[in-house]
Structure 1
Amino acid sequence: MINNYSIQKPINSGFGPRTTAKEALGGKILSGKIAIVTGGYSGLGLEITRVLAEAGATVIVPARRVEQAQETLSTIPRIELKKLDLVDPNSIDVFADEFLKTNRPLHILVNCAGIMANPLKRDARGYESQFATNHLGHFQLTARLWPALVQAKGARVVSVTSRGHRICGVDFNDPNFNNHDYDKWQAYGQSKTAKALFATGLDKRGKKFNVRAFSAHPGTIVTNLSRSLTDEEMRLMGALDEDGNRALVKYDEEFKSITEGAATIVWCAVNSQLDGKGGVYCENVDIAEAVSADNSDPSGVRPWAVSTEYAEKLWRLSENLTGIKFLD
């Protein structure tokens, strides 16, 4: 396994687990910048959208549930709301084509939308829903938006991953659980490893165009992402209070408020501290430490999520599954 451990080292950013998304901007003014934030109308995505827009960016928010998105985004300036369903390839193409027709550059793409640990579902192609939504949909979206990212002459793509990548790597032989029993956490872990590997593969290809890619772990935050989990699962995660409400019952390096959880993502998307860098997994508003596969510390990134060899295998698999030859 060939890893990019030489670049996977903290830079001592001066930020940390209690940094807010607004602080993570580093004073950056985003007037004239164009951003797309998938899932940008709820949870972490909504906070990312708000912070980028209030810093001056125009933010396009793709939404499967447009009516819900209109309500939550109504008080945020410079928002454009568009229809998109990440498990529908045609929907992705329509969204991207409409954006490209505006002839605008795309400076920031945050691939934030996702699902977690849901019962087995498949999209119209037969692909497992967590892999299809969290990774394949964003792979296709980024590919279709590639001309606008290059046009920006300095763009960043952020894949929202998770410490869930520790669960497992990508099963390159059977990613869609066609030949072995479905396990919702294995599927989740695989999809989050895929998002980290996608950043590695994209940055390798994009840096000559000044398109840099990062993966970001936000921390543990209670949002609607946990809707498929039982109360007992939430309790074991430390996310169920004594009255049975879904809420964080502690705050530490891992457990965060929504504005703290959005901080690492915003940092990856815009902060000048990362100029000239890319292809790294970040957490707690810094580049994460590379750790061994058997490391017992929950922090850090495991080898299978930053392997350049696995990133290439995933790239080829993703092209085959989506039918898209990225960067042609």
Structure 2
Amino acid sequence: MDRHSTADDVLAGHDLAGHYALVTGGTAGIGAATAAALAAVGADVLVTGRDRTKGEAAAARMSGKGKVAFAALDLEDLDSIAALAVPRPVSVLILNAGVLTPGLTRTRLGFETHFGVNHLGHFALARRVRLIDARVIVLSSRAHRRADVDLDDPNWRRRPYDHWHAYGQSKTANALFALEFDRRTEHTATAVLPGMVFTSIVRDFSQAQLRAEGWIDDNGDPRRDAGWKTVRQAAASTVWAAVTPGLGGRVVEDCAPTEPWPSGHDLPAGHHLAYASDPERAEALWELSERLVR
């Protein structure tokens, strides 16, 4: 398997009948491709999202050998997380949902939105869901290279705001959370760098901003030379982590474990920045997160 493999390629020959998976943000993009691939090989899947009409229609389209159902969930809202009804113990938990916004916004509880949704919402959810001998996959990103977690000011109360640093901090938090969840529980947790894929996560960016980032050409189409994957390719590492043993606490990219890299924005393929797998920072982030969402 490599960066061109799809989720269906990875799962060919697997039978996940009897498994129950929960995929956050599973109604579109990478999450939908992940859920559909799992259902195709027999897993029953619960996908979550904020829009019930859209979510129920998406779930109906995805059912295969396994059944796909939808449940409403708002990761900004701790009450919504607490109220989520999951009818069976989960053996595959995929924390896939995410936001990317071009300006400073805050959740209802005052958390900076990237940190609050991408990390704290998933942190709260993962500790509430009933798990059974589970694989927990947390979607990070190569954007983690943009920022470590500022444990003193994670919600940008005192420092100048930068949306890319904020998003990068949340993706570093995702990797650290997987590391510490794996250490603290009997379950296997893995962080995934899915690769660049053009999905609705960039819906809040203008065409001018997307061009400035080098993501689209003058016609508004994704640039072929930017390294974009399809959603099925981006979902491959997620399902690979779900069916491959021995990945506890690792960071995965292109269906392979990555190795730590000391520093720098020019992160080579097959590597993650070392701070994203620092056990001391992972423990400190866990303790901070417990205080914030208690």
Superposition deviation, residue 26 in structure 1: 5.1
Q: Measured at CA, do residues 121 and 296 of structure 1 come closer, stay the same or move farther in structure 2, by a change above 3 Å?
A: closer
Superposition deviation, residue 237 in structure 1: 4.3
Cα distance per residue 1:20-68 (max 9 Å; x no partner): 1111225221111100000000111010010001110110011211111
Q: What corresponds to 1:190 in structure 2?
A: 169
Superposition deviation, residue 117 in structure 1: 3.3
Letter paired with 1:86 = L
Q: Secondary structure at the match of 2:225?
A: coil
**Which structure is richer in relative contact order (CA contacts within 8 A, separation 6 or more)?**
1
Letter paired with 1:250 = D
Q: What corresponds to 1:212 in structure 2?
A: 188
Cα distance per residue 1:269-292 (max 9 Å; x no partner): 22xxx3133101110110012211
Q: How does 1:88-167 map to 2 (within 5 A)?
A: 88-95=77-84, 98-99=85-86, 102=87, 104-145=88-129, 148-149=130-131, 152=132, 154-167=133-146
Q: Secondary structure at the match of 1:239?
A: coil
Q: Measured at CA, do residues 75 and 186 of structure 1 come closer, stay the same or move farther in structure 2, by a change above 3 Å?
A: same
Q: What corresponds to 2:224 in structure 1?
A: 249
Give the alignment partner of residue 159 of structure 2, picking from 167, 180, 183. 180
Q: Secondary structure at the match of 1:108?
A: strand
Question: Separation in 2 of the partners of 1:293 and 1:138?
Answer: 27
**TM-align CA RMSD:** 1.5
Q: What corresponds to 1:87 in structure 2?
A: 76
Q: What corresponds to 1:70 in structure 2?
A: 56
Letter paired with 1:314 = L
Give the alignment partner of residue 11 of structure 2, picking from 11, 20, 25. 25
Superposition deviation, residue 295 in structure 1: 6.9
Q: What corresponds to 1:302 in structure 2?
A: 273
Q: What corresponds to 1:321 in structure 2?
A: 292
Q: Return the structure number with greater strand share.
A: 2
Q: Runs of 4+ in structure 1 displaced over 4 angstroms?
A: none
Question: Separation in 2 of the partners of 1:295 and 1:50?
Answer: 34
Say whether 1:311 aligns with 2:282: yes
Q: Secondary structure at the match of 1:61?
A: strand
Question: Separation in 2 of the partners of 1:304 and 1:88?
Answer: 29
Q: What corresponds to 2:238 in structure 1?
A: 265
Superposition deviation, residue 238 in structure 1: 4.1
- Counterpart contact for 1:37–1:112, Cα < 8 Å: yes
Say whether 1:58 aligns with 2:44: yes
Q: What corresponds to 1:11 in structure 2?
A: none
- Counterpart contact for 2:146–2:265, Cα < 8 Å: no
Letter paired with 1:311 = A
Q: Percent identity?
A: 37
Q: What corresponds to 1:290 in structure 2?
A: 260
Cα distance per residue 1:175-211 (max 9 Å; x no partner): 00111222111110100000000000001112xx2x1
Q: Measured at CA, do residues 294 and 118 of structure 1 come closer, stay the same or move farther in structure 2, by a change above 3 Å?
A: closer
Question: Separation in 2 of the partners of 1:265 and 1:63?
Answer: 18
Query: TM-score w.r.t. structure 2 length?
Result: 0.94
